[in-house]
């Protein structure tokens, strides 16, 4: 349980209290004692392993900070088979922001939970909205077709894929493709990116929806500003 004084300190902007509160949530993940601040959008970043989700999240954080926005991040990592803790690969890729008081990154282990998140992710994301952040990013562990828990946490789901996933997109028209609000082809400087775009364009308009399909190269920042503008536009439309 989160100590009431700790929760009060979180709402007053105490980063150490925030870290302690998240640890309490991880010890008791079924706790429901944090009121979600609906004015702070939660953006889910999901996709298969190896498509560059963490690198793209890192680039998005950089763009948000350039706009003077404070960012809270929950990064769900695979679990260590020995300790059960997070392997911290996501946090390592976001190390550009270590020491930035406007960025808070918390890695947590999936601990074998299916769905792409950990048991504590939802409540942690809600806690971050109660802090002094302008936006919260939730990055899932690498997922497959049926791992769609992020849709129950995020206001907007960004599905990241990479060249070479064209055939898989066609096979996965349900599940993770179905819940996405926005598609991003990362590593779009590769020759086979066009095939993925064609596949995504075929599914983006299904169900009467007109979902954007964007291209990025997260390692260079290409397309990241457009991605952030699109996210902001979709959030504004839904509010």
- Greatest mean pLDDT among 31-40, 86-95, 215-224 lies in 215-224
Residue 170 has pLDDT above 90, yes or no: no
Range of the domain at 101: 39-238
Question: In the chain, pLDDT over 70 holds for what percent of residues?
Answer: 82
Residues 47 and 141: beta-carbon distance below 8 Å: no
Name the least confident of 51-65, 71-85, 157-171.
Answer: 71-85
Residue 195 has pLDDT above 70, yes or no: yes
Structural domain includes residue 108: yes
Counted domains in the chain:
1
Residue 112 has pLDDT above 50, yes or no: yes
- Count of residues for the chain? 239
Structural domain includes residue 104: yes
Element holding 26 (H helix, E strand): helix 15-27
Structural domain includes residue 155: yes
- Greatest mean pLDDT among 77-86, 170-179, 186-195, 211-220 lies in 211-220
Name the least confident of 55-64, 85-94, 132-141, 160-169.
Answer: 85-94
- Which CATH number do you get for residue 107? 3.40.50.300
Residue 77 has pLDDT above 50, yes or no: yes
Task: Transcribe 157-220 into DSSP letters.
Answer: EEEEE-TT-HHHHHHTTTTHHHH-SEEEE-STTSTTHHHHHHHHHHHHTGGG----EEE-BTTT
Structural domain includes residue 92: yes
Structural domain includes residue 111: yes
Sign of CA pseudo-dihedral 62, 189, 89, 45: positive
Average pLDDT (20-35) is 81
What pTM, to 2 d.p., does this model score? 0.89
Structural domain includes residue 167: yes
Residue 67 has pLDDT above 50, yes or no: yes
pLDDT band at 188 (very low <50, low <70, confident <90, very high): very high
Residue 115 has pLDDT above 90, yes or no: no
Structural domain includes residue 31: no
Residue 72 has pLDDT above 80, yes or no: yes
Structural domain includes residue 18: no
């Amino acid at each position: 349980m989160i100590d009431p004084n700790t929760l009060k300190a979180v709402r007053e902007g105490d980063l150490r209290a925030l870290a302690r509160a998240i640890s309490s949530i991880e010890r008791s993940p079924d706790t429901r004692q944090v009121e979600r601040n609906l004015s702070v959008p939660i953006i889910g970043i999901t996709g298969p392993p190896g498509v560059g989700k963490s690198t793209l999240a890192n680039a998005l954080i950089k763009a948000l900070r350039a706009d003077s926005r404070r960012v809270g991040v929950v990064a769900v990592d695979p679990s260590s088979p020995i300790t059960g803790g997070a392997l911290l690969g996501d946090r390592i890729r976001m190390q550009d922001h270590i020491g930035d008081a406007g960025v808070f990154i918390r890695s947590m282990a999936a601990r074998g939970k299916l769905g792409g998140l950990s048991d504590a992710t939802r409540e942690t994301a809600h806690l971050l909205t109660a802090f002094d952040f302008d936006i919260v990013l939730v990055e899932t562990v690498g997922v497959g077709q049926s791992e769609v828990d992020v849709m129950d946490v995020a206001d907007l789901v960004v599905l990241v894929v990479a060249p070479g996933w064209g055939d898989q997109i066609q096979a996965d028209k349900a599940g993770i493709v179905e819940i996405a609000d926005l598609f991003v082809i990362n590593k779009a400087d590769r020759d086979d990116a066009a095939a993925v775009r064609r596949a995504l364009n075929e599914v983006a308009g299904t169900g009467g929806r007109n979902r954007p399909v964007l291209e990025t190269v997260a390692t260079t920042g290409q397309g990241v500003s457009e991605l952030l503008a699109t996210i902001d536009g979709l959030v504004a439309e839904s509010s």
